[in-house]
A and B are shown apart, each in its own frame.
Chain A
Amino acid sequence: MNQEKLYALLAREMAGTLTAEEATDLQQLLQQYPDAGYIREVFAQNWAPAGKQYTGLQVQLLLEKHRQRMQEMPDTVRETIVPVRRSMWKLYSGIAASILLLTVGGYWFYSGRQQAPAPQAQLVTEKRMRTQVLLPDGSRVWLNAGSKLDYPKQFAAHAAREVTLEGEAFFVIKADAERPFRVHTQAFHVRVLGTSFNVRAYPQEDSAETSLVQGAVEVVLNNAENQVISLKPNEKITIPVHPVVAESHATTAPVVIYKSKLIPVQDSIIPETAWVQNKLAFKHLELEKVVVMLEQWYGVEIGFKDDSKRDLYFSGVFETESIEQVLDALETTMSFTWHKDAAGKIWIK
């Protein structure tokens, strides 16, 4: 009898409907049945679905998918869906753009720095290391190996959210129409409202790229014209940049930019963003570039003894394999062989 009451009171406590009188009763029963203290504790814990669970990233993607479905509704509906603010936003950016043309080049970039600088935080990853961080606005960033992200400890209330990236990162940006998100790199910056996308801009590589998974972004080149390129979902833009060593030609060389589609290697694995899920993926990529990925991923050094092998193309997806297993798998194509020297450096010939 008393036990039945205990269960009922435990249930009500969990539901938050316990009255003061019942709370006293519960205390007495707990003294009578000391074991029940543990059960009470178990009910006070956080519980989670035993089956499928959605991660924070998946919830962000669900939102993007939902917003996309909303936009695809028939026109009659669309008029009510598109918020008034969006057209205002376009108007503002139109005004902002024309003001920009009148101002001296470069002012835009430095204007932010003239105000009192917000305290900055920096996230750095070594080779083999990948990490993720939740920014103060709730946006999430995955940082790939050998990369650096600078961001303010607190974003200003009504200003753009600005971060600077060197290396590679995947962003899931929390939508905020009042505070557009900008990612600055050496060659370009990316303007965002709410979306998920990948930016790859390693200073030692000869091109930088942005891949859009969901939402919409604009890529603004840091050249004199501030050229703007819009991306649609599953599009990627590649911009040639001169590695830091050859900087003297950077301003004179013509810039050839190309857009391409994101193509899955298998199922839904897209090479550009596979690293976020701890997968190493590449599709029709020169061995020379595959080797750079392997060096970053496994923290090894790889050299070519036969330069003609640099231009061989490979596709593949790897997850738990060791560097030896990956090289063995690629070697089965019979197009090259590899070995490790006494110092541990890997050679391809």
Chain B
Amino acid sequence: MGENEQIKSLFQRVCYDDSIQAYNELYIALCTRLIHFSASIVSSFHLAEEIVSDVFISLWQKRRDMSHVENPVVYLYVSTKNLSLNTLQQQKRHQHHSLDALNADMLVIAPEAESGMVSAEVSQKIERAIRSLPTRCQLIFRLIKQDRLSYREVATLLNISTKTVDAQLTIAVKKISQAIRFDLSDETAQTYLRQDS
């Protein structure tokens, strides 16, 4: 069973069987992704943890009316987005909030250094390249690479076309590729050396 099917099946067990165990598993499977997403909007992990907790509480309360939900992952992301924007709105009144001003510190991802393929230096270069991108582009890259959402899911969540998602992701890939290209021969050589020994 793929990850998405697994999440769908957990979601159904929550809605139709009142399974508290499935509910807990669903929370564990998704909470850190949603917290990072929320934190990029509200700029606080503490606040984001409460927001995501509220999203899940409301899921349990409304679990009987969830039959219209086709994609639970998108539903939870959209709920998290809305609650995050609302929270921000309440905190700083008179300001309009959108996903245009995101906090990059909560968004940046980089290859795990232990993976062996990538040195700490290259990893830092990638991090710098990602930070140089517009935050919305960073968000799209993260949602695809880290959160493993599909083009369609990201498009629904951000109210953009799948074409835009594709274009934005290509920009991110290009930027990252160019940042590490200079080290390419060096790095490849090292990989081969490592394999020899």
Contacts and interface: CB of A to CB of B under 8 A. Distances in A.
Main DSSP-derived SS at the B contact region? helix
A116 interface: no
Interface in A39-64: 39, 41-43, 45-52, 54, 59-60, 62-63
B20 A85 contact: yes
Contacts of B169: 11-12, 14-15
A38 B20 contact: no
B174 A7 contact: yes
B60 A81 contact: yes
A175 B24 contact: yes
Contact of A176 (B21, B176, B180, B184): B21
Nearest to B49: A62
A80 B188 contact: no
Interface in B164-186: 166, 169-170, 172-174, 176-177, 180-181, 184-185
A46 B114 CA distance: 10
A70 B20 CA distance: 12
Contacts, number: 137
A14 B57 contact: no
Contacts of A66: 27, 31, 53, 56-57
B118 A7 contact: no
Interface string B118-135: 100010001100000000
Main DSSP-derived SS at the A contact region? helix
Interface string A197-209: 0000000000000
Interface of A: 4, 7-8, 10-12, 14-17, 35-36, 38-39, 41-43, 45-52, 54, 59-60, 62-63, 65-67, 69-70, 73, 77, 80-81, 83-86, 175-178, 194
A52 B112 CA distance: 13
Interface string B33-46: 00110010000010
Given A4-B174, A52-B45, A80-B61, 15 more contacts: A11-B166, A15-B150, A17-B151, A35-B184, A42-B176, A43-B145, A45-B112, A45-B115, A47-B109, A49-B108, A65-B49, A77-B57, A81-B60, A83-B18, A177-B21
B112 A7 contact: no
A243 B13 CA distance: 49
A299 B191 CA distance: 41
B181 A11 contact: no
B20 A177 contact: yes
